[in-house]
Amino acid sequence: MLNQTEKTIIHNAIRDIHDFPEPGIVFKDITTLLNNADAYGMLMTHLKTRYDQYNLDFIAGIDARGFIFGSALAQMLHVGFVPIRKKGKLPHSTVSESYDLEYGSDEVEMHVDAFRGKKGARVLLIDDLVATGGTAAAAVRLINRSHGECVEACFVLGLNFLEGQKKIEQLTPVYTLIGID
């Protein structure tokens, strides 16, 4: 478990960009975490320790920042990595799951053979941030519908005031390192 000092180091390594991508939004920029070897190493060591005993088969990362954490953690745990992307971005046959946006809907996809035919594959879903939870909830449903078992959804940051974690907790346990109120 991360202690408060470690959480503070990781949190302080993430830069706030005000009014991006539009006025009123405070964007959480993880590039400053990624280029801080001590903070990033602390984060990844913690995640490896946490998930070492989960007997995972795969880690699925949500496009695009989930790829960074997910692929590194998959390598550390010696398991496969599965990219979950927006519709139309993967080159092979895919399965998809739609989710609602404030105005309209969107879809996430993964390859039909992402779990290499292993039914009941134990999968960790990871991304940098959970806000409203729509994309992550769709990713969990996609994993489970594809004969995997999403054992947990992991996020570096959680925007607690948007309550997206509650939506995902209806589908799988959620672990968030740093909650932002």
**Residue 39 falls inside a structural domain:** no
**Residue 133 falls inside a structural domain:** yes
Number of domains in the chain: 1
For the domain that residue 128 is a member of, what is the CATH number?
3.40.50.2020
Token duo for residue 29: 């920029």
**Residue 113 falls inside a structural domain:** yes
pTM greater than 0.95: yes
**Residue 58 falls inside a structural domain:** yes
C-alpha pair distances (Å), 152 with each of 24, 65, 87, 149, 155: 31, 18, 23, 9, 10
Q: What is the pLDDT of residue 152?
A: 98
Q: Beta 80-86 vs 104-111: how paired, if at all? A: antiparallel
* pLDDT one-digit tens code per residue, 17-30: 999 999 999 999 99
Q: Residue 1 — pLDDT band, cuts 50, 70, 90?
A: confident
Range of the domain at 160: 54-180
